[in-house]
Amino acid sequence: MRQSGASDAIKTRSYDNVSYYWGVIIGNFLLFLILNVVEVLVSVFVVNLTSLAPVGWRYYIFYLLTLNIPVWVFVAGVTLWLSYATKFRFWAVTISVIWWFGGIFYLPYWQHGTWDYLASGVPNVFSEVTGHVDLWRYLIHRLLYFFVGMGLLVCGVSWVERLPNRVDVLKKNVLWGVMLVVMGVGCGVALEYVYYRDLQIRLEYRECFARNWSEKTCRVKSHAITLAQSGERLTLHSEMIVYNPGHESIEKIYFFLNPGLRVKQIVVGKDRLSYTRDEQVIVINQGLGVGDSLQMCLEYEGEIDERICDLHLPKEEYENTFYGDRFFARGRRGAFVSDEFLLLSPASIWYPVAVPPVNPLSPSFTGRDFTRFRLAVVQSQQNVLYSQGNVKKMKDTMLFVPSRELTGISLCGGNFNRYHLNIEGIEVEFLSLGGYDILLRRFAKVDDRLLMRILHQPLFQLDDFGLLLSKRWCEKGASRLCFLETPLAFRLESHEGKTEQGQVEPGMVFIPERGFDMDIADIVESEGRSKEELSSICAVLQANLRDPTCKVRNSHPLLGIGTGIDSEHYTNVYNYYSLLSDDDIWVSSSKYPFMGKVFDRLRAGGFSRADLKREGNNKRNREYDYLTGSTLSEALENSSAGEAFLSRVLDLGIADLWDRLTWQISARAFEVMLDTIFSGYDGEVDYDSICGDIKATSGVDVHRVMEEWVSAKHKQFFKIKDVVAYYYSEKGLYEIVGKIENIGEEGGIVSVECGSFLNSRRYCHFLNAGEAKEFKIVTDVNPVSVKTSLSANRPPYFNIAYATGIEDKELVLGNTWEDISSSEFESDANEIVVDDAGVGFKIEDDRMTLVQKWIKRESLFREEFKMVNAEVPYWTSVIDVNAHGDSIRSFHCKSGGVGRSKAIWSITLPETGKYNVMAKVYRGSLLSSTFQKPEGVVYYYTVVCNGKEISVEVNLDEVLESEDMFTGWISLGEHYFSAGEASVILSDKEVQHRKEVAIVADAVKWVKLE
């Protein structure tokens, strides 16, 4: 038997515990250091062979000192402490491994990566222009783990049991260890406080906007800016002419300016104006009458506060620095001011504006201000400056003068290399900081005629490129479009209030350093000499600079497990093609601030095609539900819903408005009328003026339609009856007939959708609440569906049945809608229906444990009958166009089981008598990969009649006789019921144990027989 202390003699050495302990620690550390040096040498060799980036020894040394060494110190300290604390090495290893797994899969994407000692979630890359993307926070993060690990290692001396420790040595080591741990924890607290402070400041900026913003504000007619730079500090002077475009006087003038810039004085003539400053808002104590203007000068200076940029972003998106790749954290910068590089865009509000770049509470409410700019940059620190407008050099001043009004002006300066290419009359410039030089030098050697032949291939759609010449930022005779390489951390997001994408400004596209997001490594390595190679290079560039979306890149070495990527694609913020969306006209309305966005999309058109495509897969039930019971204004003001979601909501609302505007006038005629009216305007246009012009031209009372549309709460819903499309093959015509009633609380649009995505036709009509119509439509394109627009119907459309028409019938193209009595839609007095969405229906699922039943929430409607996963273990509510129901047509379904789960329909019959009990059944598969109907499916019902249970087996192959028939009402038999309680039970039993077979519980009805 082993005795305590039996091996102490073996451990006896001629040195004390401290020397022994630190000798072991340092020996292990030196071994770790040697392995790291070898790894660095191998990495340098591999990078030199495979990467375009130059080898930078200082980066490897930096990462060794700040990344690898703190990791080793922390892991060594934690494992030693865990071994001592648990007295069991297994738990020390297990906890360490769990933390390590967390650092690989989850911790980088949670709480800013603070809990990730590997620092893979902390912005930690270098820009060749501006250096480390966020050095201060990165070093604080690394000191957190270095100090904590070092403190635990120092304390570890007291845990050595080889020889008794001297009391003074023990106390000294514990004291130093605790101090180091406290310092590390202090670093963590300081780091989190910085993030917290930034968020609180951004929150204050949002609240400041809410306190001060009014749609009834002034506009800036002209703005001459003079800028001088000294290091990170700017000194600016603005000469402005402001005016009041509204119908009411303005008591005070409000400007928005970057909070880091301090206003020195505001002067009108020789008089100084009094003002107050509230964060980014300047409130000037000066009024403006209707149509009045005022010339004033502002002097201001300071450093740019980048926290004002992208103020609309919620916390999660603002703190996400991975963007389209869930492995490389790049940081987030909204502006740069240094001697090496200067980048100022309207997003940073670096000059005073009357309309801020984004409404942070509701981006779709963002307005525009058309201003004639003039920018003078004095004694530039950079060798190349770029901005919009015509350029003029005057001694030590660079002057930029746009010839037309712009909604904003940007300035970029750096040690650029310039490359030029003329495409369709536009001088395309590339300003490279070095990352694109290899690629651009190859383009410079290509014959221009060969390059033009390549670019004119249909793939590149170059014909649209010439449309940029019509934009107001294109100077006549000197049209320029510039692609500027920017540091890695620069990032501006797209939003609803900005027609261009996030990193696109009029005439300028800010592309990432060395094509970091753009997958250009392969094309840069290509020689680019042959036509095929050049075509390949151009195709890659187009995919990155023109396509509206980009595919998410997954550089994670373990395929991004745990990274939580929500979508395979994301918005391409470098899409220069979005410049075509920049309209020269903006409709402003103080009452409805989103009206500018509405008219932009109305003019773009295409609603018929969009609706047909949307109806095909029924993906927007959530957006429809969100609008039901709310006006569009109320819905858009809820910023917590998410900008992408609200954008889709606005799309639905505008599509509904289009239907309301065009149901009495053809869509094509309305489009032509809008183009004609808007061709006479430029810049900002008053909403009332536009409405008046439309009414005078078309007779449509747009004011009334808009008021009804904006105030609608979408509580209408419709019943459809006897809708059939008769096809006349000899005439090539369809006759669509049917009946429809609005049984909701307000009026709404219904439309019969016909045609295909590229050749669509729609026949709309407005039904008031309680109104019923019979319609007949004769068309030469195939019918698709009856759409109920923004109603409470789910799904928001109905299928159309097909039949063969009598060929000798006379048909005339057109549509008629005739009034009919609502009695046409009255239900049969002898029928009592219990639907799965109504009272009297319940489910019993014995497969669920008590805990599952306790935590179960009301299930959301699924939007598709087929599931990606073949098995649906529990009863799930599904919206389906073929289901029974009033406003909501749905059923419950689950995978075939063993009979332990049930659906129950219960009713109280008012009269004694004989009833035919009927159930609506479906024959379908839960597999998304097949359209074949399963064979041999039997539904097992139990009819509870007068206390007796009658089993009924329904073979779907027999009751649904046609191969094309997959749903219908079937009889469960005629039974004599006494007045009172009755029920029908459906079991989930599937005798062949096929999990892909759907057991569907929809509706049951009792039909009293005469």
pLDDT tens figures, 885-917? 888 899 998 888 888 899 999 999 999 999 999
Q: Is beta strand 411-414 parallel, antiparallel or unpaired with respect to 341-344?
A: antiparallel
| Residue (of 112, 197, 189, 181) closest to 147 by Cα position | 181
| Residue (of 669, 679, 558) closest to 605 by Cα position | 669
| Residue (of 409, 408, 427, 418) closest to 469 by Cα position | 427
For residues 279 and 205, the answer to whether their CB atoms sit within 8 Å is yes
* pLDDT at residue 60, rounded to an integer: 83
* pLDDT at residue 282, rounded to an integer: 96
For residues 859 and 910, the answer to whether their CB atoms sit within 8 Å is no
Q: Is the pLDDT of residue 605 over 80?
A: no
For residues 149 and 75, the answer to whether their CB atoms sit within 8 Å is yes
| Residue (of 621, 715, 701) closest to 664 by Cα position | 701
Six-digit token string for 145 = 């783990």
Catalogue the E-assigned strands of 901-937: 901-909, 913-922
Q: What is the pTM of this model?
A: 0.85
The H-or-E segment that residue 656 falls in is helix 643-662
Q: What is the mean pLDDT of residues 661-682?
A: 86
Report d(CA 459, CA 269) in Å as an integer: 58
For residues 554 and 560, the answer to whether their CB atoms sit within 8 Å is yes
DSSP assignment of 508-560 equals EEEEEGGGTTTT-HHHHHS---SHHHHHHHHHHHHHHHT-SEEEPB---TTTT
Report d(CA 73, CA 68) in Å as an integer: 9
Confidence grade of residue 321 (pLDDT, cut at 50, 70, 90): confident
| Residue (of 360, 626, 336, 654) closest to 493 by Cα position | 360
* pLDDT at residue 870, rounded to an integer: 57
Confidence grade of residue 142 (pLDDT, cut at 50, 70, 90): very high
- The residue with greater pLDDT, 679 or 185, is 185
* pLDDT at residue 440, rounded to an integer: 82
Report d(CA 507, CA 519) in Å as an integer: 24
pLDDT tens figures, 561-586? 555 555 667 788 999 888 888 778 89
Which range among 8-12, 184-188, 856-860 has the greatest average pLDDT?
A: 184-188
* pLDDT at residue 200, rounded to an integer: 96
* pLDDT at residue 616, rounded to an integer: 38
DSSP assignment of 13-28 equals -SS-HHHHHHHHHHHH
Q: Is the pLDDT of residue 78 over 50?
A: yes
End-to-end CA distance of the chain: 96
CA distances in angstroms from 581 to 320, 387, 467, 600, listed in the order given:
28, 20, 11, 9
The lowest-confidence range among 162-171, 231-240, 695-704 is: 162-171
Q: What is the mean pLDDT of residues 800-807?
A: 88
Report d(CA 578, CA 546) in Å as an integer: 8
The residue to which tokens 């090496």 are assigned = 340
Q: Is beta strand 913-922 parallel, antiparallel or unpaired with respect to 967-977?
A: antiparallel
Q: Is beta strand 261-268 parallel, antiparallel or unpaired with respect to 569-571?
A: unpaired
Q: Is the pLDDT of residue 445 over 80?
A: no
Six-digit token string for 516 = 């970091």
Orientation angle between helical segments 667-678 and 643-662, nearest 10 degrees: 110
| Residue (of 206, 80, 209) closest to 152 by Cα position | 80
Confidence grade of residue 14 (pLDDT, cut at 50, 70, 90): low
Confidence grade of residue 527 (pLDDT, cut at 50, 70, 90): low
- For residue 359, how far is the Cα from the chain centroid? 17
Confidence grade of residue 301 (pLDDT, cut at 50, 70, 90): very high
pLDDT tens figures, 766-792? 999 999 999 999 999 999 999 998 899
Average pLDDT of every residue of the chain = 85
* pLDDT at residue 561, rounded to an integer: 56
- For residue 175, how far is the Cα from the chain centroid? 51
Q: Is the pLDDT of residue 444 over 70?
A: yes
* pLDDT at residue 806, rounded to an integer: 84
Six-digit token string for 154 = 């120092």
Q: Which residues contact 18 (CB under 8 A, 6 or more apart)?
A: 157, 169, 173
- Express as a percent the part of the chain with pLDDT over 70: 88
Catalogue the E-assigned strands of 109-197: 126-127, 131-132
Q: Which residues contact 444 (CB under 8 A, 6 or more apart)?
A: 419
Report d(CA 786, CA 894) in Å as an integer: 29
- Express as a percent the part of the chain with pLDDT over 90: 43
Q: Is beta strand 783-787 parallel, antiparallel or unpaired with respect to 831-835?
A: unpaired
Q: 3-class DSSP state for residue 832?
A: strand
Q: Is the pLDDT of residue 173 over 90?
A: no
Q: Is the pLDDT of residue 183 over 80?
A: yes
* Strands lying side by side in the sheet with 718-728: 801-804, 718-728, 733-742, 772-779, 814-819
DSSP assignment of 862-899 equals BS-SSBSSS---S-EEEE-TTS--SSB-EEEEEE-BSS
Q: Which residues contact 685 (CB under 8 A, 6 or more apart)?
A: 585, 586, 587, 588
The percent of the chain in helix, strand and coil, each rounded to the nearest 5, is 35, 30, 35
pLDDT tens figures, 949-1005? 999 999 988 888 766 677 899 999 999 999 999 999 999 999 888 888 889 999 999
The H-or-E segment that residue 447 falls in is none
Q: Is the pLDDT of residue 496 over 90?
A: no
Catalogue the E-assigned strands of 330-475: 336-337, 341-344, 372-378, 384-387, 390-394, 397-401, 411-414, 417-423, 426-432
| Residue (of 328, 331, 209, 339) closest to 278 by Cα position | 209
Q: Is the pLDDT of residue 413 over 90?
A: yes
The lowest-confidence range among 123-137, 272-286, 301-315, 727-741 is: 123-137
- The residue with greater pLDDT, 612 or 227, is 227
The H-or-E segment that residue 134 falls in is none
* pLDDT at residue 528, rounded to an integer: 57
Q: What is the mean pLDDT of residues 169-191?
A: 88
pLDDT tens figures, 846-884? 666 555 555 444 443 444 454 445 578 888 888 888 899
For residues 936 and 885, the answer to whether their CB atoms sit within 8 Å is no
Six-digit token string for 153 = 């290692």
The lowest-confidence range among 85-94, 387-396, 720-729, 825-834 is: 85-94
Q: Is the pLDDT of residue 743 over 90?
A: yes
CA distances in angstroms from 479 to 402, 482, 850, listed in the order given:
11, 10, 71
pLDDT tens figures, 619-639? 556 888 888 888 988 888 887
